């Protein structure tokens, strides 16, 4: 059945994101596999879509021309095709060479190219059209992340009957940085097509509302934007989470416990296992983290006999120049550290550049004494929450960057400034040497926090605000005072 088939049932809930939860991979023998896509967006949205009936629109990860909608493991997926030029200009270019670094504190230099922008507009329109064709009358469409910021306004134009929400999974920059964008106004107007625009942190929502007031000239009051046509747009913070119960269940399962033991044995039962798990991305602070750790060994504060750092780095955006450079830098750094400090059978760093199944990730979280999460800037960082969810015995320590959204909630972690390498080293040592009673108190508090706010709560709180937001036209509902 094709999307335009009038007989095809339309969906009451439609998710739009750049990626589908599975990636189409063509094997060397020409056979096709669908593999789980990388990243936190898929981790968070998959359980939400399993709990709701709906359709998920996204890119298949390749350049195959139109693939038909299909059902994968119970999820209705609607693939959108990208040409190889669009992969270069829309995905690698504007999404990951312009917006990604700009929205992450310009930790790398964003590039501005007009042809990348043109491609972003074209691809956003294609996603909006797919959503317009898939959604039932008055359905809810939930658009996700920085690759899709024009979709809300385009979709509203095509289907004014829809309820439209947008959620940004990454940080939203302060006005001083956002202003660099030659297309700043168009992006803000694109987002304003939604009824609700959600962010990870309150500061991001405030940045957005302030920019709308300054750059587009709309009236605002607190988190509300008042458009000249009488429509209102509600902004707000909706910190994302994980399927805490599901992951804990997996972590408690016999095979995962067994595998965690095996991992420790394979590492020769060191006293301390430290763990880093990230997409191989320059925002994650992997380089400084490994350097800091190597200094602890070189200074004799830790030894390779006692400790090992397991760094799992998922391959990511491998054709983007800055990611290639990072990969080479990390490869070289790990080689140098192990060459200088390792002993036979005792590397300082056990480095894995690969993706793993959920069971293996849970086993790694179970095996690790200290989880080290050091992004220079991160919307949330689900890995930090995943570690906490897996520590059902309330042991283990979390070292966490204060520049990750997760630091707002996981206050009992050993919080660090990732730019301060000496401070980070001191916190790693503090975590390693902490009294087990102190660790248990911290972990219990963090476990309480995440179990009170899991991904189901995140989705339902967003969808609730969305369901209440749309009928409020400001002509009917004016605040007492507006700024």
Q: Which residues bind ligand F6P (CB under 6 A)?
A: 18-19, 38-41, 145, 169-170, 316-317
Q: Give the whole-angstrom CA distance, residue 135 versus residue 151.
A: 14
Which option in ligand F6P, ligand ADP, none does residue 322 bind, with CB closer than 5 to 8 A by kind? none
Number of residues that bind ligand ADP (CB under 6 A): 16
Look at residue 314 and give the partner it binds from ligand ADP, ligand F6P, none, a contact being a CB closer than 5 to 8 Å depending on partner kind: ligand ADP
**Comparison of 93 and 347: residue with beta carbon closer to ligand F6P:** 93
Residue 383 contact partner, candidates ligand ADP, ligand F6P, none, CB within 5 to 8 A by sort of partner: ligand ADP
Q: Report 339-368 residues binding ligand ADP (CB under 6 A).
A: 355-356, 361
Instruction: Rank residues 331 and 468 by Cβ distance to ligand ADP and give the closer one.
Output: 331
- Least Å from the CB of residue 325 to ligand F6P: 17
CB neighbour class for 63 (10 Å; exposed up to 12, middle 13-18, buried from 19): middle
**Alpha-carbon gap, residue 18 to 149, rounded angstroms:** 11
With respect to ligand F6P, which residue has the nearer C-beta, 220 or 241?
241
Pick between residue 283 and residue 350 the one whose CB is nearest to ligand F6P: 283
Contact status: 246 vs ligand ADP (CB under 6 A):
no
Closer to ligand ADP by Cβ: residue 381 or 427: 381
Instruction: For residue 381, state whether it binds ligand ADP (rule: CB under 6 A).
Output: yes
| Chain residues 309-338 in contact with ligand ADP, contact rule CB under 6 A | 312, 314
Can residue 39 be called a binding residue for ligand ADP (CB under 6 A)? yes
According to CB under 6 A, which one of 17, 18, 43, 401 is a site residue for ligand ADP? 43
- To the nearest 10 degrees (0 to 180), the angle between helices 40-51 and 382-390 is 60
Instruction: Give which of ligand ADP, ligand F6P, none residue 382 binds (C-beta under 5 to 8 Å, depending on kind).
Output: ligand ADP
Nearer to ligand ADP by C-beta: 154 or 397? Answer: 397
Q: What angle do CA 478, 226, 140 make, to 5 degrees?
A: 105
Does residue 380 interact with ligand ADP by CB under 6 A?
yes
Q: Which residue is nearest to ligand ADP (CB)?
A: 40
Span from 185-193, 199-207, 243-251, 382-390 in contact with ligand ADP (CB under 6 A)? 382-390
For ligand ADP, the binding residue among 189, 243, 248, 386 (CB under 6 A) is: 386
The residues facing 140 across adjacent strands are 13, 163
Residue 69 binds ligand ADP, judged by CB under 6 A = no
Phi, psi of 276 (to 5 degrees): -125, 135
CB of 161 to ligand F6P, least distance (A): 28
Binding site for ligand ADP (CB under 6 A): 38-40, 43, 277, 279, 312, 314, 355-356, 361, 380-383, 386
């Amino acid at each position: 059945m094709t999307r335009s088939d009038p007989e095809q049932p339309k969906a009451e809930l439609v998710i739009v994101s750049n990626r589908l939860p599975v990636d189409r991979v063509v094997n060397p023998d020409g056979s096709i596999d669908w593999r789980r896509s990388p990243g936190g967006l898929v981790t968070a949205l998959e359980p939400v879509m399993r709990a709701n009936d709906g359709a998920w629109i996204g890119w298949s990860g390749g350049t195959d021309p139109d693939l038909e909608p299909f059902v994968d493991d119970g999820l209705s997926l609607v693939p959108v095709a990208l040409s190889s030029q669009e992969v270069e200009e829309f995905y690698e270019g504007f999404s990951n060479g312009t917006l990604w670094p700009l929205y992450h504190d310009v930790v790398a230099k964003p590039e501005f190219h007009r042809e990348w922008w043109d491609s972003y507009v074209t691809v956003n329109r294609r996603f909006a059209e797919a959503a317009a064709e898939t959604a039932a009358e008055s359905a809810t469409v939930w658009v996700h992340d920085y690759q899709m910021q024009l979709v809300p306004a385009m979709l509203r134009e095509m289907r004014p009957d829809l309820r439209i929400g947008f959620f940004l999974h990454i940080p939203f920059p302060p006005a001083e940085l956002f202003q660099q964008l030659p297309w700043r106004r168009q992006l803000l107007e694109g987002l304003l097509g939604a009824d609700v625009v959600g962010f990870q942190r309150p500061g991001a929502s405030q940045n957005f509302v302030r920019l709308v007031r300054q750059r587009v000239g709309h009236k605002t009051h607190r988190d509300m934007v008042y458009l000249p046509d009488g429509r209102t747009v509600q902004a707000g913070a909706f910190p994302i989470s994980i399927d805490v119960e599901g992951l804990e269940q997996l972590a408690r399962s016999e095979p995962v416990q067994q595998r965690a033991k095996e991992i420790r044995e394979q590492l020769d039962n060191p006293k301390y296992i430290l763990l880093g798990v990230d997409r191989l991305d320059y925002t994650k602070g992997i380089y400084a983290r490994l350097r800091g750790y190597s200094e602890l060994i070189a200074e004799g504060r830790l030894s390779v006999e006692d400790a090992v750092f397991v760094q799992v780095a998922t391959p990511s955006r491998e054709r983007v120049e800055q990611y290639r450079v990072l990969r080479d830098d990390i490869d070289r750094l790990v080689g140098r550290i192990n060459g200088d400090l390792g002993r036979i059978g005792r590397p300082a760093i056990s480095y894995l550049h690969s993706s793993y199944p959920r069971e293996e990730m849970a086993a790694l979280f179970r095996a690790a004494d200290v989880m080290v999460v050091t992004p220079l800037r991160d919307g949330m960082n689900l890995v930090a929450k995943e570690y906490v969810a897996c520590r059902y015995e309330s042991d283990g320590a979390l070292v966490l960057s204060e520049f990750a959204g997760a630091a707002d909630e996981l206050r009992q972690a050993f919080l660090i400034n990732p730019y301060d390498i000496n401070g980070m080293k001191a916190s790693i040592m503090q975590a390693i040497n902490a009294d087990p009673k102190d660790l248990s108190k911290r972990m219990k508090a963090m476990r309480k926090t995440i179990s009170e706010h899991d991904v189901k709560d995140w989705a339902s709180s967003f969808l609730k605000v969305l369901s209440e937001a749309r009928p409020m036209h400001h002509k009917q509902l004016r605040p007492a005072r507006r700024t």
